[in-house]
Structure 1
Amino acid sequence: MNFELEMIVARKFIISGLVQGVGYRFFTQRAAARHQVRGYVKNLADGRVEALAQGGEKSVENFKHDLTAGPSFSNVEHIR
């Protein structure tokens, strides 16, 4: 048997643009479940969204890709 171990990482993302009031947090929760990452997502007072994701390195990168797209009514300008 050949088992590959994937490194577990944790990344915090700050998402800016039109990301509040458009279902972005719900979208993020569903994306996290789809990519099997754990963490949290919350609105920030300045209109941005903060997300923390923990999981396999590839899973977290795929999750970030989904965050960039966002739900249909959002407009993601920047993720850091």
Structure 2
Amino acid sequence: MVQCLHAFVSGRVQGVWFRQSTLETAQTHGLTGWVRNLDDGRVEVMAHGHEHGLLQLEAWLSIGPELATVAEVKSARVEPAEEYIEFMII
């Protein structure tokens, strides 16, 4: 069963390859959706896929890439708003 994870990641998460690393992690776990920077310095993630892959991505978001310093991840399972065919940076 496909589920949807919506997450906001705060800390030092922009300008440190966070979006690209999120894309690669999501693709590794067979997820679709998107990641984007927000004007307030956070990163927003919407990921669709099976529970195992979403749990793997959620765990990775709390660590991030090497140059990142993640302060907080706020995430929730939500109803999918639309279907995605790939994971992308928007």
The structure 1 segments of at least 4 consecutive aligned residues displaced by more than 3 Å after TM superposition are none
What's the counterpart of residue 30 of structure 2? 36
Between Structure 1 and Structure 2, whose CA radius of gyration is higher?
A: 1
Is there any run of 5+ residues in structure 1 with no aligned partner, and where? Answer: 1-6
TM score, norm. by length of structure 1: 0.89
| Greater helix fraction, Structure 1 or Structure 2 | 1
Percent same amino acid at aligned positions? 36
Q: Does 1:55 align with 2:49?
A: yes
Q: State which of 8, 20, 30 in structure 1 corresponds to 2:2.
A: 8
Q: State which of 11, 17, 38 in structure 2 corresponds to 1:17.
A: 11
| 1:62 Cα offset (Å) | 0.8
Is there any run of 5+ residues in structure 2 with no aligned partner, and where? Answer: 75-90
For the aligned residues, what is the CA RMSD?
A: 0.6
| 2:41 maps to amino acid | G
